Structure 1
Amino acid sequence: MKIRRSNERGTFNIDWLQAKYTFSFANYYDPRHMGFRSLRVINNDIIAPEGGFPTHSHRDMEIITFIIRGELAHKDSMGNAATITPGMIQIMSAGSGVSHSEFNPSSENDTELFQIWVESKERGTEPSYSEFRFEDRLEENKLNLIVSNNKHDEVGYVNQDIRIYYFDLKDKNFNLDADKAYWLQMIEGEATIGGESISHRDGISLEHENAQVQVKSAKGLLFEF
């Protein structure tokens, strides 16, 4: 079990962007934090009004955007244009190559998000784009599957052996299986795992461990490998 405290993450700030990097990214490099399993990036970005990322390219990555607050306008070389809001997940499978831009369309409010990169299992595939509004299908006080490698799950699909759950829990415990590996990314609130407390924006990895997550009140994402 390894904890990645929110205040220990890499930092990058410019006029329109405040970013926190869980793993090594761009000019931030820490050999102790290069990713976890197929998970390569968890960037916690705050984008100022009308700020954003101009057109840039990716390949062989599953790029997942989770909005915490505000909205994000997306355009890509496949012809997709969409505005993503809280309660939605956006997935772009870069495959053989895709270009896109992302901007905060608001003139007044910041946008905060997690941008998540997962290494693609099959390389050089045809790029694809999808959105999934999970908000309308949430079961109260449960782990809710929002991303899967199985299209029959009817959630966001990725080209990798990974499942991602969203949770908004109160006075709830759940168990983690020693036969699997996990990354738990807190959004807000507090939880306890193996006697260790984690809170706002902390992350924690577990491999081959039986563990119980005890939640008083928390929101977060659970990555299962």
Structure 2
Amino acid sequence: MKKVIYKANSRGTGDYGWLKVNYTFSFANYFNPERMNFGALRVLNDDKIAGGFGFSKHPHDNMEIITIPLKGMIEHKDSMGNQGTIEAGEIQVMSAGTGVYHSEFNKNKNKDAEVLQIWIFPNKKNVNPRYDQVEIQNLAKENELYQILSPYAKDQGVWIHQNAWFHLANYTKRKEEIYKLHKEENGIYIFVIEGEIEINDEKLSKRDGMGIWETSEISLKNETNSKVLIMEIPMHF
């Protein structure tokens, strides 16, 4: 088993006035050659967007883009004709494929929105762009990992063009769990959204991240209220 740990305070930062970001991997004005990606996981941005502000129309292609609001509401518009809002308790995915334009704004002018922006390299290039959005709060299982993303349209949650699986857990009491990888060649990136958690005897706190590969399973131990995102992704693609 191999591992890498990125403590919350070691991440790159960006302060653009209306947008404050913590970058796990190199992005925008943050560049670290040792932090370009973790396998197929290219971007994990922890955004705080001021009320009434956001990202104006901009392009993407050949990337699986996942948005998970943690607080507040984001208004989305794209060149595929999709328009609406996504809020905490939901997940949005956009397969950029051959190319798409979109914009994202904080719908609430009086409160900040907190959002995780995640990019995954796809296993198919130049697919037709697509959009999906699911209420993950309806999938939630208290004190148990539950799936929110997979490679299969028939599965629970959203799907993407990659052999990746995302799970969330909302722990409110002491709990121990084992996560078994779907594919041996995959790795796992754990991101602690709130609280503290122990992964394979390694303690992680709020906004800490840990990548693990060359293993078939990991153990999770929770002692306090916490929320954690588990991302299983290919290490080679």
TM-score range, shorter chain: over 0.9
Aligned to 2:107: 105
Structure 1 residue ranges (4+ consecutive) displaced by more than 3 angstroms after TM superposition: 176-180
Pair 1:224 & 2:232 matched:
yes
Once the two structures are superposed, the pairs formed by residues 83-94 of structure 1 within 5 Å of their partners are: 83-94=85-96
Measure how far apart 1:215 and its partner are: 1.1
Once the two structures are superposed, the pairs formed by residues 32-181 of structure 1 within 5 Å of their partners are: 32-169=34-171, 170-177=173-180, 179=184, 180-181=186-187
Cα RMSD of the aligned pairs, angstroms, is 1.2
SS of aligned partner of 1:135: helix
The structure-2 alpha-carbon separation of the partners of 1:164 and 1:211, relative to structure 1 and needing over 3 Å to count, comes to: closer
Which runs of no fewer than 5 residues in structure 2 stay unpaired? none
SS of aligned partner of 1:145: strand
Is the Cα–Cα contact under 8 Å of residues 73 and 108 in structure 2 kept in the other structure?
Answer: yes
Query: Which residue identity is paired with 1:220?
Result: V
How far apart, in 2, do the equivalents of 1:149 and 1:89 lie?
Answer: 15
Is the Cα–Cα contact under 8 Å of residues 177 and 208 in structure 1 kept in the other structure?
Answer: no
Measure how far apart 1:203 and its partner are: 0.6
Query: Which residue identity is paired with 1:83?
Result: T
How far apart, in 2, do the equivalents of 1:176 and 1:182 lie?
Answer: 10
SS of aligned partner of 1:184: strand
Is the Cα–Cα contact under 8 Å of residues 141 and 169 in structure 2 kept in the other structure?
Answer: no
Measure how far apart 1:175 and its partner are: 2.1
Is the Cα–Cα contact under 8 Å of residues 193 and 207 in structure 2 kept in the other structure?
Answer: yes
How far apart, in 2, do the equivalents of 1:206 and 1:154 lie?
Answer: 24
How far apart, in 2, do the equivalents of 1:218 and 1:35 lie?
Answer: 25
How far apart, in 2, do the equivalents of 1:100 and 1:32 lie?
Answer: 30
Measure how far apart 1:69 and its partner are: 0.3
Identity %: 39
**CA displacement, residues 155-210 of structure 1 (integer Å, 9 cap, x when unaligned):** 20101110000110231112244734200011001011233210111110001235
